[in-house]
Amino acid sequence: MTQGNKWLVLIATGLAGIMVAADFTIVNTCLSLIQKDLGSTVNQLQWLISGFGISFCALLATAGRAGDLFGHRKLLYIAIIGFSLASLGSGLSTTPLMLIIFRILQGAFSAIVFPCGMAINANNFPKEEQGRAFSLYGSLVGIGLAFGPLMGSLISSFASWRWIFFINIPLTIISLVLCFLVVKKDSVNKNVKIDWLGMCLLIFSLATLVFAINEGPYFGWETPITISLFIAAGIGFWLLYQVEKRVEAPILPIPLFMNRGFLVGNIVYVIGVGFAWPILFFLPLFLHDVQNYKTLMVGLLILPMTAMTAIAPVIAGNIYDKYNARVAVAIMFLFAFIAYILFLLFNINVPVWFMLIAFFIFGSAWGFGNGLGIPIMLSDIEDMSDAGVISGAGLTILNICGVLSLAIVTTIFYYAERDGLKLSLQKANIQLTEHQQHLVQAMIANPDRVKSLLSGFSKDLAEKIVLYFKQAFVHGFHISIWTLLGGTIISLLIILKANQGKRG
Together in a domain, 452 and 391 = yes
The per-residue pLDDT for range 396-435, each reduced to its tens digit, is 888 888 888 988 998 999 889 888 888 887 887 777 665 6
Would you state the pLDDT for residue 180?
83
Spatial distance between the Cα atoms of 199 and 468, rounded to a whole number of angstroms? 45
> Do 423 and 329 lie in a common domain?
yes
Cα dist from 335 to 141, 339, 388, whole Å: 23, 6, 29
Q: Which domain holds residue 444?
A: 259-504
On whether residue 350 sits in a domain, the answer given is yes
Question: Do 215 and 182 belong together in one domain?
Answer: no
Residue 294 lies in a domain: yes
Whether residue 248 contacts residue 206, with contact meaning beta carbons closer than 8 Å, is answered with: no
CA–CA separation, 12 and 249 (whole Å): 30
If asked whether residues 131 and 216 sit together in one domain, one would say no
Structural contact between residues 367 and 312, judged by C-beta atoms closer than 8 angstroms: yes
Say yes or no: 183 and 204 in one domain: no
* Element housing 303 (H / E): helix 303-322
SS3 (DSSP) at 457: coil
Domain count, the chain: 3
pLDDT at 395: 77
Count Cβ atoms within 10 A of the Cβ of residue 69 and give its class: 0-12 exposed, 13-18 middle, 19 or more buried: middle
* C-alpha torsion 470→475→480→486, nearest 10: 160
Given this model, what pLDDT does residue 33 score? 84
Say whether both 225 and 283 belong to one domain.
Answer: no
The domain that holds 48 is classified in CATH as 1.20.1250.20
In a domain, 46, yes or no: yes
Three-state SS string over 326-337 comes to: HHHHHHHHHHHH
352-378 helix and 303-322 helix, angle to the nearest 10 degrees: 40
Task: Please list the ranges in the chain whose pLDDT falls under 50.
Answer: 1-2, 4, 504
Same structural domain, 142 and 22: yes
- Identify whether residues 117 and 134 lie together within a single domain: yes
Residue 328 falls inside a structural domain: yes
Neighbouring CB atoms inside 10 A of 38's CB total: 18
329 and 211 in a common domain: no
Residue 504 has what pLDDT? 47
Cα(87)–Cα(236) distance, rounded to whole angstroms? Answer: 31
Q: Check whether residue 179 and residue 207 sit in a common domain.
A: no
Indicate the pTM of the whole model: 0.84
Amino acid in position 254: I
Q: Are residues 478 and 407 in the same domain?
A: yes
Q: pLDDT tens, 221-234?
A: 989 999 999 999 99
Contact 69, 192 (CB under 8 A): yes
Q: How many CB atoms lie within 10 A of CB 502?
A: 10
Residue 394 has a pLDDT of 78
pLDDT for the residue numbered 418: 82
Region for 39 from its dihedrals, namely left if φ exceeds 0, alpha if ψ lies in -120 to 50, beta otherwise: left
| 210 within a domain of the structure (yes/no) | yes
Q: What is the pLDDT of residue 1?
A: 46
Same domain, 264 and 306: yes
Length of the chain: 504
In a domain, 254, yes or no: no
Residue 73 lies inside a defined structural domain of this protein: yes
Half-sphere exposure of 4 (CA within 13 A, CB side): 1
pLDDT at 131: 60
